[in-house]
Amino acid sequence: MTENNPTAPESLDSLSYEEAREQLVAVVGRLEAGGASLEESLALWERGEALAKRCEDWLEGARKRLATARDASSDGGAPASGSPTA
């Protein structure tokens, strides 16, 4: 997928969060600019929805990893980073 064609098919699974977000911003920009045919607008919308879902999945995975790390550090007996000691 190139920046010039955000609707070109590409496996979303291979995109990093930053790549998916960058492509989503490009899709939104093209939709906001107008001038696209109805068919192209629908394809852009669908691609944007898929990219947004990819970003949400990445963020949810990051939240889970942070929660796991936080739980592991608090289970180890040492206070979590930034936690006040009693």
Q: Summarize pLDDT for 64-85 with one digit per residue, the tens.
A: 999 999 999 887 755 555 544 4
Give residue 3's pLDDT. Answer: 47
Q: What is the pLDDT of residue 67?
A: 95
pLDDT digits (tens, 9 = 90+) for 14-65: 999 999 999 999 999 999 999 999 999 999 999 999 999 999 999 999 999 9
Output the DSSP codes for the chain.
-BTTBTTS---GGG--HHHHHHHHHHHHHHHHH----HHHHHHHHHHHHHHHHHHHHHHHHHHHHHHHHHHHHHHTTSPPTTPPP-
